């Protein structure tokens, strides 16, 4: 774990998580749906490791990778078809990243509320979170269409803080993309980057000016001084 604020107070009153690539490993189900679309179009499946790097960029990022030549209405039609296929297998292989059950249990035992702030639309977020029984545990779930704004705008994070009744500066946000850090900074929250998430070789997380980079979920507990 690397921190640019060594020695600073680390304890927070609430923790907010990005969903895909931070809290949940959704890549297996999303890439399966993507490759089904490619097979239907007579194309070979993409390598999982390559497609995985685009999962945090949502359906548009994945479809641009799979069909770089498409644009306009044909692109949108294929994207909608992909979303339909993905919704049908929303939680077949998706699971918490290894070590996250301990993180969530520790937060709950310490009465530290945790929530989800994602750009994933509610029609996918709601059934996914429910399928993994996280809806009963999360203090709030803010989807990509809960508000008119999405990350990197700070509004979703500020809305989450308001829902759980914790001042933004007393929350910490964990994500795996530059927009996550940007949103947290704009909201006045410390930002942590999940290096185990869906980063590509071109990403430079050390340049994102996060408060810490964590290699695995349990390091969040160290940063929060809960171990």
Domain coordinates of the chain in residue numbers?
A: 2-25+94-223, 27-88
**Can you identify the CATH homologous superfamily of domain 2-25+94-223?**
HAD superfamily/HAD-like (3.40.50.1000)
- Statement: the pTM of the whole predicted model exceeds 0.85: yes
pLDDT for 11: 76
Q: Does the pLDDT value for residue 5 go beyond 90?
A: no
What are the tens digits of pLDDT across the range 119-146? Answer: 999 999 999 999 999 999 999 999 999 9
Active site (catalytic) residues: 18
pLDDT for 3: 47
Arithmetic mean of pLDDT, 220-224: 95
CA atoms within 13 A on the CB side of 29: 21
Contact by Cβ (8 Å): 94, 28: yes
Residue 227 binned pLDDT confidence (cut-offs 50, 70, 90): confident
**In this prediction, what percent of the chain has a pLDDT beyond 70?**
96
HEC string of 168-195 equals: HHHEEEEECCHHHHHHHHHHCCCEEEEC
What are the tens digits of pLDDT across the range 168-191? Answer: 999 999 999 999 999 999 999 999
């Amino acid at each position: 774990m690397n921190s640019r604020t060594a020695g600073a107070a680390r304890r927070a009153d609430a923790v907010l998580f990005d969903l895909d690539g931070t809290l949940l490993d959704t890549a297996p189900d999303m890439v399966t749906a993507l490759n089904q679309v490619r097979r239907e179009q007579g194309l070979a499946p993409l390598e999982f490791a390559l497609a995985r790097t685009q999962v945090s960029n949502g359906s548009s990022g994945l479809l641009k990778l799979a069909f770089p030549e498409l644009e306009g209405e044909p692109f949108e039609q294929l994207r909608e078809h992909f979303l339909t296929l993905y919704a049908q297998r929303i939680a077949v292989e998706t699971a918490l990243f290894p070590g996250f059950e301990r993180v969530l249990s520790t937060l709950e035992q310490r009465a530290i509320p945790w929530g989800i702030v994602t750009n994933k639309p509610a029609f996918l977020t709601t059934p996914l979170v429910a399928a993994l029984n996280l809806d009963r545990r999360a203090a709030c779930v803010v989807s990509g269409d809960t508000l008119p704004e999405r990350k990197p705008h700070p509004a979703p994070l500020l809305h989450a803080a308001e829902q759980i009744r914790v001042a933004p500066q007393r929350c910490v946000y964990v994500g795996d993309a530059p927009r996550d850090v940007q949103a947290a900074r704009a909201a006045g929250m410390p930002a942590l980057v999940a290096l185990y998430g869906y980063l590509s070789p071109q990403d430079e997380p050390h340049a994102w000016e996060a408060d810490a980079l964590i290699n695995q979920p349990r390091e969040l507990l160290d940063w929060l001084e809960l171990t």
